[in-house]
Amino acid sequence: KPEHLAPIAEGLHLDLDDLKATVRRYAAGKRYSPIPIKRDLSPAELTFIDSHRDPGTFPELELVQEPRRLYPQDGLAAHVIGYVGEVSESELNSSDFASYSQGDLVGKSGLERQYNEILKGVDGQRRVVVDVAGREHQVLESQEATPGQNLQSTIDLDLQAVAEIALEGKKGAVVALDPRDGSVLAMVSRPAFDPNLFAAHIKAADWKALTSNPENPLINRAIQAQFAPGSTFKPLV
């Protein structure tokens, strides 16, 4: 309810204008799908929800557990693996993401983006009967989610780790290929970033720190940096 947004924003330490914008953005979506308004709740915020979601206050509040990615620490193979994020408005308007809804997580870069359809699986669903307080009384239909497929890359973990260590504190890229078939055995770009920041919903401060960093840690210097070709390329042109 619109009149509930201000006290909910205060109790969950949200900016009221941002909360209103979120609700408007989801209004055109599926009628009975929950609108995620905050992730990674603190103990105090969990208590606020538990004590206010009765019929007399904010029955629309609901706690939902969701799985999240767990990426290697310290940015190991960050640019190779990539990261996931909430599907954007522009992506929803493209044919590649026609089957997605507002709030879905999709691959944004690296292997996560390239093999998104293989990794994502199929959502499950439940149809239930609830009372005015949102308490379940009967399950009408339940369909289990189908996990995504496994994916095995050609990256050699030991070689990747050695290359990462060699570039520690430096700015540049290392690529190692198998000369027999061109398989990528290692691909390192430094400086790197921590994909775990994106695993649920990246905080505005973390996103600003990454995008405003003059060393551009989000750029994969192995394939994106604009360096002039070396002398070995000259015979080809």
Across the chain, which has 237 residues, the per-10-residue mean pLDDT values are 91 91 79 80 91 84 83 92 88 84 86 93 86 78 91 95 94 94 95 88 85 93 75 70
The pLDDT score that the predictor gives to residue 209 is 92
Catalytic residue among 90, 95, 212, 231: 231
Q: How far apart are CA 131 and CA 61, in angstroms?
A: 14
CA nearest to 198, candidates 211, 208, 187, 207: 207
pTM for this predicted structure: 0.72
The pLDDT score that the predictor gives to residue 29 is 67
Enter the DSSP assignment of 29.
S
The pLDDT score that the predictor gives to residue 227 is 61
**CA angle in degrees (0–180, nearest 5) for 84-68-38:** 90
CA distances from 87 to 45, 62, 90, 144, 159 (A): 26, 22, 8, 23, 33
The pLDDT score that the predictor gives to residue 212 is 93
Active site residue 183: no
